[in-house]
Amino acid sequence: MSVLDNAQRYGAISRFLHWGVAVLLLWQFLSAATHALLEDSWLDELMWATHKPLGFLLLVIIALRLVWALLNLSRRPAAVSRLAALGHQALYALMIVIPVLALIRQYGSGRAFSPFGIPLMDGFDSEKIEWMVGLGNLLHGELAWLLLAFTLGHIVMAFWHRIRKSHEDVLARMWR
């Protein structure tokens, strides 16, 4: 399997990034759902502790993935339609905007934030910054659920293209 993408298949690095992010996002949504539905249960306590640091890690990986996608743009398999290309762009936009909004809210709250011991935000004692907190409260969760809905549509389309014999089997480009 080649490291770089080519016109028929995604390469090893693109696949690793695609499936790695998929697994981490699954955990991220499970922690969010547990927090929303089973607040203060032992499962919530266990999983919610990972939501902020993992969300930060996801942003770093997704930013790297975006750079990698742009570097490979002329090499990778062409999207099957304009709608498929738009769908992938929407997934990227949401994957970046959702954690960025959460980090803006985290900053505005004035509370310190050190994911994995990295002192990212020191926190402050003055009043919290209302617009930062308000923006995150308004959009972080809502856009995240929208991302989940888009992702489910993405998965359905991948299998639909595989089932329909006249369609290009896009799953083979991303899976072995």
Q: Which positions touch ligand HEM (CB under 6 A)?
A: 14, 18, 21-22, 25, 28-29, 32, 36, 51-52, 55-56, 58, 69, 77, 79-80, 84, 88, 91-92, 95, 98-99, 102-103, 106, 140-141, 144-145, 151, 154-155, 158, 170-171, 173-174
**Distance (Å, rounded) from C-alpha 34 to C-alpha 134?**
23
Query: Smaller CB distance to ligand HEM: residue 125 or 176?
Result: 176
Report, in Å, the least distance between residue 127 CB and ligand HEM: 19
Cβ proximity to ligand HEM: between 47 and 106 the closer is: 106
Largest Cα separation within the chain, whole Å, is 62
Quick one: 32 or 132, whose CB is closer to ligand HEM?
32
**Cβ–Cβ under 8 Å, residues 34 and 43:** yes
Find the radius of gyration of the CA atoms of the chain. 18
- On whether the CB atoms of residues 150 and 94 are closer than 8 A, the answer is yes
> Which residue is nearest to ligand HEM, using beta carbons?
55
Closest to ligand HEM by CB, 38 vs 91, is: 91
Q: Which residues contact 110 (CB under 8 A, 6 or more apart)?
A: 123, 124, 125, 126, 127, 128, 129
What's the closest the beta carbon of residue 159 comes to ligand HEM, in angstroms?
Answer: 7
Q: How far is the CB of 42 from ligand HEM (least distance, A)?
A: 19
How far is 13 from 61, CA to CA, in rounded Å?
12
